[in-house]
Amino acid sequence: MGLSKYPSTVTMPNTEQPYPSILVFLQQRFPFVATQLWEQRIAEGKVLDEQSTPITLETGYAPGKRIFYFREVDTEPVIPFSEKILFQDDEILVACKPHFLPVTPGGRYVDECLLNRLRSSSGIHDLAPLHRIDRETAGIVLFSVNMKTRSLYSQLFLHGSVEKTYQALSAHVPLGDKKEWIVADRIVRGEPWFRMKTGPGTVNARSMINLVEVKENRARFVLRPISGKTHQLRIHMSWLGFGILNDRYYPELQPESEDNFNTPLQLVAKMVRFQDPVTGENREFVSGRELLL
């Protein structure tokens, strides 16, 4: 049994009256968790309110209030790769994440995530990720250390003030002399729920893509996302016909299977650059991971 040492949170949204029960809300919010399991967690005191008091089945629904719970899984896969801390001060921690490791707890993963590994190794329990990269992607992830300045760094990502560069390998070599592309479209939730797609409407995803090297039947690209939508770079590379090597979601969803640690997704979050909102310094952090043809 994997049981998180750190609580996850969910906020009860505003909704029409009569309000649902806490149990019905949790069942609707987490449809893949059995109702009986939520009943058991509540009975065992594993679901708390904002005062860290265990809730009961009679606890009333309170719009805007948070519920705290502890993720648990029967069996948790072990990811046999290590993260590396690249920088740490009183405000932020910068780490390089390996392939296959999620940034935060989710699905089958509780302790085997970058956040909880770093909490354990650094002793900083108030760490919070300032952005995300896919579980399958390796590379740079920034964390807030100081709750008092956290919003200042979050605003950088929210307003697109962080320059990000990725590397990717593709088994599809572009034809012709073109080496630069700008992709702008709208990315929305697809089917199944974990897969994204393009759709009609206002553009919300933009990427700059540059071909930098070709060798035999492989091509290496530098990718610069201007926005930060889920799976954005994977979708944009696939749309151009340059699907990223070992991508199991795009352009076609592959059958579900266990991770093959010998064939990681060939995508690395290589660099982040921004002006530090606290010190005013120009910051640049670069991953030592290289994708070579």
Token pair recorded at residue 33: 């968790």
The answer to whether residues 141 and 279 belong to one domain is: yes
DSSP letter at 233?
H
Tell whether 249 is covered by a domain: yes
* Side-chain-side CA neighbours of residue 134 (13 Å): 22
Q: Where are the alpha helices (DSSP H) in the chain?
A: 22-29, 35-43, 114-122, 150-158, 232-239
- The whole-number average pLDDT for the span 274-285 is 98
Q: How far apart are CA 56 and CA 54, in angstroms?
A: 7
DSSP-derived letter for residue 19 is P
Task: Specify whether 193 is located in the same domain as 258.
Answer: yes
Which carries the bigger pLDDT value, residue 8 or residue 179? Answer: 179
In this structure, the answer to whether residues 261 and 171 fall within a common structural domain is yes
- Same domain for 46 and 94, yes or no, is no
Q: What pairs with residue 241 in β-bridges?
A: none
pLDDT mean over 281-291 = 97
The candidate with the shortest Cα–Cα distance to 81, out of 58, 108, 105, 112, is 112
DSSP secondary structure letter of residue 288: S
Only one residue has tokens 């329990």, namely 125
- Is the same domain home to 149 and 117? yes
Tell me, yes or no, whether 170 and 232 share the same domain: yes
Give the sign of the dihedral formed by CA 98, CA 283, CA 129, CA 84.
positive
Residue 79 inside a domain? The answer is no
User: What amino acid is encoded at 48 in this protein?
Assistant: L
Number of domains, the chain: 3
- Residue numbers of the domain that contains 221: 165-267
Kindly state whether residues 173 and 152 are assigned to the same domain: no
Query: How far, in Å, are 209, 210, 211, 213 from residue 178 at the CA level?
Result: 11, 9, 8, 12
Strand pairing partners for 92? 144
pLDDT reported for residue 30 = 87
Domain finish residue from 73, 93, 117 = 73
pTM for this prediction: 0.87
| CATH code of 234's domain | 3.30.2350.10
234 and 179 within one domain: yes
> What is residue 234's three-state secondary structure?
helix
d(CA 153, CA 289): 25
Asked whether residue 1 carries a pLDDT value surpassing 80, the answer given is: no
Nearest to 29 by CA among 17, 16, 11, 15: 11
Over residues 121-143, mean pLDDT: 96
| Helices 22-29 and 35-43, packing angle to 10 deg | 130
- Tens of pLDDT along 53-112? 999 999 999 999 999 998 888 788 999 999 999 999 999 999 999 999 999 988 889 889
Residues 249 and 196 in one domain: yes
Decide: 40 and 70 in contact? Cβ < 8 Å.
Answer: no
